[in-house]
Amino acid sequence: MLIKLSGGTVYDPANGINGEARDIFIRDGRIVKPGDNERVDQEYPLKGYVVMAGAIDPHTHIGGGKVTIGRMMLTEDHIGQEVARGELTRAGCGHAVPSTLTAGYRYAEMGYTACFEPAMLPANARQAHMEMGDTPMVDKGAFVMLGSDDFLLRAMTQKKGSEFINDYIGWTMHAAQALAVKVVNPGGISAFKFNQRKLDLDEKHVHYELTPRDILITLARGLREIGVTHPLHVHGCNLGVPGNDETTLATIRAMEGLPVHLTHVQFHSYGTEGDMKFSSGAPRVAELVNKNKNVSMDVGQIMFGQTCTASGDSMRQYGNTKSAYPKKWVVMDIECDAGCGVVPMKYKDKSFVNALQWAIGLELFMMVDDPWRLFLTTDHPNGGPFTTYPHLIRLLMDRGFRNDMLQKIHPGAQAATILGSLKREYSLYEIAIMTRAGPAKSLGLKDRGHLGVGASADITVYDDVADREAMFQKPGLVFKNGELIVKNGVIVKVVQGATHVARPEYDRAIEKPLREYFDRYHTVRMDNLRVGDHEIIQSDKGSIIQQPTRARVRAA
C-alpha cells in the first residue's frame, strides 16, 4: 500500500529541508520514492500543516527499578491522574511517574516515537527491559551504567589495560541489551559506599585510589575504540552542588577532545555568587560548550510543580534528601554495581533556588549556539514530567511568552538571571534538530529522526498554530512505521515499538575472569545476568534493532 502525505510544510534538518512544501510517500513502513505512475492508495492532504519526523527523547527515565520505586512511593501523585481503560488502550495513571502504559500513550499523543532510558544498571537491566516492554507505541533503548561497578574499578586499579576494559564494556553492552553507556558521578556511587560524601573530578576514591577523571577518560576512550556511536553519556560529579559550574568546565577540559555527551547540564551549572551563594553558571558553561565541538549536551530543564527525581547518583541524591517534598525518599546501594536515589521534589516559582534553576536551564538553551549538540529534555521526571515539553517548546520559541513567565518567578531570581535580555527565539527547524535529527544522529539511529527515502516512517504532523504549546501538545497525525497511530491527539492504533541496541565487538575471553568474579562475589551467575534476545522478542512481544557500530580500533 502506498500512502502519500501531500503538500505539508516539511522540516527535515537531517536532509536540509527547512519548511518546504513536499510530498512524502510511505510503503511497508518506510519512506519511499515511488515510480512515476504508481497508484496512491491513501492520501493525506497536508497543505499548511507542519511535518516532522517522529520526536525522539534521548534521556527520559521510563523504565527500571528506580522508576517503579518512585511509582510505588508517590501514589498520592497518581490520585486524580488515573486513566480508564479505553477501547484500544489499557488503564494506568500518571503525572510525575506515570505507569509504563500511560507513559507510552502520552509520548505518542505528543508526537514522540522513540524514548531512551538513560540509567540502566546491569544488575537491573532485565527489569528495565520488562518495563520498557510494557511501554507501548514508542521505540526504546537504554544506556547501561558503568563507572562505579567494582569489576571496572578493580580492573583499572589492577592496570588490566584498555583491551581488557574495552572487552568488558562491550560484553556489558551485549549482556544488558544497551544502545550506549552512561557514567553517573564517576566512581562516586562506589565511594559513597565507603562513606565518602563527595568526589570531585580529581579527588581520589579512598579504596580504589582512582579519580573521576581517570574513569571518564577510560570509558570515553573505550567507547571510541570499540566504535559505539553515542559518546560516553556523562552525569558528572557534584550534581546540584553550588559551584559545580567549575566542575563542569573542568570536566569538559578533562576530556581532551574525546567525544562526550554531558547530560542534564542545568543541574551542573550552578555558581556561588550573590547573597544566597547560588548563581547561574550557564553563560560560562555555554561558552565552553560552544568552543568544544566534541561536546554535546542535553539541558534537563526544570519545570514548576510536583515531580520525582530518580537517579543512579546515590551519593548526590542522599545529599538532596533534605529538599524532599513530600518528606520521604529512597536511596539504595546496589549489587557492587551501582546505586540509586529517588527523591520527590516540588519546584516552586516563588522559591529563589527553583526559580533560578528554571532560568539557568533556559539560559543554556539560549546561549548554546548549535542545536545539533543540544537536546531538549527535562531529564524526565527529574526536572519535570515529559508532558511539559510543549510548554518548554513555547518558552524557547516565543520570547514574549518567556518574558511573561519570567515576570512571575521569585524577584531575586529575576535579578540574578540574564534571561530577560536574551533575544533568541527557536525556529521550527531548530526545534526539529533538537528533538529529532540531533538525538538520532548522536545515538546512531540511522533510519530514525529524518524523512529521507529509506527512513522508518515515524512521522508527526502538526497544525501550524501560533501558540506553539498548543501545537506541540496535540499533533494532528502521528505515524509509526507508516501506520497511523494518533489522530488529533487521540490514539487510533496501539503498536509495540522496537528496542534499539548497539553490539560492539568484544573478545569472548573476557568471560573467563568475569565468570570467576561473579562466582566468587556475586549472588547472580554471569550467564543469568545476561538479558536474552528471546526475553525482549517473545516475553515482551517486542523486537530488536541492532544499530551499526564502527570497527574496533585496537592498541598497536
Partner 1 sequence: MTTTTTGSPPPATARPSGLSTGGASGVHENVACPFCGILCDDLEIGRTASGLKIRKNGCDRAVAGFERPVVASSPQVAGREVSLAEAVTEAARLVRAARLPLFGGLGTDVEGMRAVMSAAEHAGGVVDHAFSEGQYRNFEVLQTAGWFMSTLTETRNRADLIVIVGSDIHKLHPRFFERIVATPEPMFLMAGKKRTVVFIGAGLDTSAATGGHIGEVISLPCPTAAVGEVVSALRARLKGVPLAAKEIAGIAIANIDDLADRCRKADYGVMVWAPPSLAFPAADLTVRIVSDLVKDLNLTTRFAGLSLGGNEGAVSAGAVSTWQSGFPLRVSYASGKPDYDPVRFAADRLIARRETDLVLWVASFTPDLMPPESDIPTVLLGVPGMTLAVQPAVYIPVGTPGADHAGRLIRCDNVVSLPLTNLGRSTLPSVATVLAAIEHAL
> Which residues in 50-79 contact partner 1 (CB under 8 A)?
63, 65, 67-69, 71-73, 75, 78-79
User: DSSP H helical segments within 181-243, as ranges?
Assistant: 188-193, 212-226
Which position among 100, 148, 306, 351 is part of the footprint of partner 1 (CB under 8 A)?
Answer: 100
101 belongs to the binding site for partner 1 (CB under 8 A): yes
Which residue, chain included where needed, has cell 570467576?
516
User: In sequence order, what are the beta bridge partners of 393?
Assistant: none
Write out the DSSP string of 79-108: TT-EE---SSS--EE-SSS--HHHHHHHHH
Please identify, among the stretches 24-32, 94-102, 300-308, 409-417, the one whose residues bind partner 1 according to the rule CB under 8 A.
94-102
553 belongs to the binding site for partner 1 (CB under 8 A): no
Q: For residues 368 and 536, which CB has a smaller minimum distance to partner 1 in the complex? A: 536
348 belongs to the binding site for partner 1 (CB under 8 A): no
Q: Residue count at the site for partner 1 (CB under 8 A)?
A: 86
143 belongs to the binding site for partner 1 (CB under 8 A): no
Q: For residues 39 and 508, which CB has a smaller minimum distance to partner 1 in the complex? A: 508
Smallest separation, CB 118 to partner 1 (Å): 18
Site residues (CB under 8 A) for partner 1, limited to 146-175: 150, 170, 174-175
500 belongs to the binding site for partner 1 (CB under 8 A): no
83 belongs to the binding site for partner 1 (CB under 8 A): yes
Smallest separation, CB 535 to partner 1 (Å): 7
Rounded-to-10 torsion of CA 186, 188, 193, 195: 160
CB 313: neighbour CB atoms within 10 A?
A: 29
Which position among 22, 27, 193, 198 is part of the footprint of partner 1 (CB under 8 A)?
Answer: 193
Q: What angle do CA 471, 30, 432 make, to 5 degrees?
A: 30
Which position among 309, 442, 473, 547 is part of the footprint of partner 1 (CB under 8 A)?
Answer: 547
Which position among 291, 464, 521, 543 is part of the footprint of partner 1 (CB under 8 A)?
Answer: 521
Site string for partner 1, 282-321 (x = CB under 8 A): ------------------------------------x---
CA–CA distance, 264 with 166 (Å, rounded to integer): 26
Smallest separation, CB 100 to partner 1 (Å): 5
Q: Which three cell numbers stand for residue 438?
A: 540531533
221 φ/ψ angles, rounded to the nearest 5 degrees:
-65, -40
Chain-centre distance for alpha carbon 281 = 22
Which residue, chain included where needed, has cell 530488536?
544
b/e code 22-49 from CB counts within 10 Å (16+ = b) = bebbbbeeebbeeeeeeeeeeebebeeb
94 belongs to the binding site for partner 1 (CB under 8 A): yes
Which position among 284, 348, 493, 522 is part of the footprint of partner 1 (CB under 8 A)?
Answer: 522
Q: For residues 68 and 113, which CB has a smaller minimum distance to partner 1 in the complex? A: 68
Q: Which amino acid is at 198?
A: K
50 φ/ψ angles, rounded to the nearest 5 degrees:
-95, 130
Which residue, chain included where needed, has cell 567507547?
223
Site string for partner 1, 452-481 (x = CB under 8 A): ------------------------------
Q: Which of 503, 519, 527, 515 is nearest to 177 (CA)?
A: 503
User: Can you say whether the dihedral through the CA atoms of 59, 60, 64, 67 is positive or negative?
Assistant: positive
Smallest separation, CB 90 to partner 1 (Å): 6
Q: For residues 2 and 545, which CB has a smaller minimum distance to partner 1 in the complex? A: 545
Q: For residues 204 and 207, which CB has a smaller minimum distance to partner 1 in the complex? A: 207
Q: Which of 331, 342, 435 is nearest to 392 (CA)?
A: 435
Smallest separation, CB 454 to partner 1 (Å): 13
CA–CA distance, 505 with 223 (Å, rounded to integer): 11
Site residues (CB under 8 A) for partner 1, limited to 317-346: 318, 324, 327-337, 342
CA–CA distance, 356 with 390 (Å, rounded to integer): 21
Q: Mention every residue, 6+ apart, whose C-beta is less than 8 A from residue 115.
A: 56, 57, 60, 62, 107, 135, 138, 139, 140
Q: For residues 415 and 524, which CB has a smaller minimum distance to partner 1 in the complex? A: 524
Smallest separation, CB 532 to partner 1 (Å): 4
Which position among 99, 238, 481, 496 is part of the footprint of partner 1 (CB under 8 A)?
Answer: 99
Smallest separation, CB 547 to partner 1 (Å): 7
CA–CA distance, 219 with 215 (Å, rounded to integer): 6
Which position among 39, 534, 555, 556 is part of the footprint of partner 1 (CB under 8 A)?
Answer: 534
Which position among 45, 161, 525, 543 is part of the footprint of partner 1 (CB under 8 A)?
Answer: 525
Please identify, among the stretches 20-28, 130-138, 265-273, 385-393, the one whose residues bind partner 1 according to the rule CB under 8 A.
130-138
Q: For residues 42 and 528, which CB has a smaller minimum distance to partner 1 in the complex? A: 528
224 belongs to the binding site for partner 1 (CB under 8 A): no
Q: Mention every residue, 6+ apart, whose C-beta is less than 8 A from residue 413.
A: 352, 355, 356, 358, 359
139 belongs to the binding site for partner 1 (CB under 8 A): no
User: In sequence order, what are the beta bridge partners of 546?
Assistant: 501
**What does each C-alpha distance from 422 to 67, 364, 402, 470 come to in angstroms?**
36, 11, 10, 24
User: Is residue 118 helix, strand or coil?
Assistant: strand
415 belongs to the binding site for partner 1 (CB under 8 A): no
Smallest separation, CB 206 to partner 1 (Å): 11
Please identify, among the stretches 10-18, 25-33, 49-57, 541-549, the one whose residues bind partner 1 according to the rule CB under 8 A.
541-549
Q: Prior bond to 381 cis, omega within 30?
A: yes
CA–CA distance, 27 with 455 (Å, rounded to integer): 11
CA–CA distance, 262 with 118 (Å, rounded to integer): 12
498 belongs to the binding site for partner 1 (CB under 8 A): no
Q: For residues 173 and 397, which CB has a smaller minimum distance to partner 1 in the complex? A: 173
215 belongs to the binding site for partner 1 (CB under 8 A): no
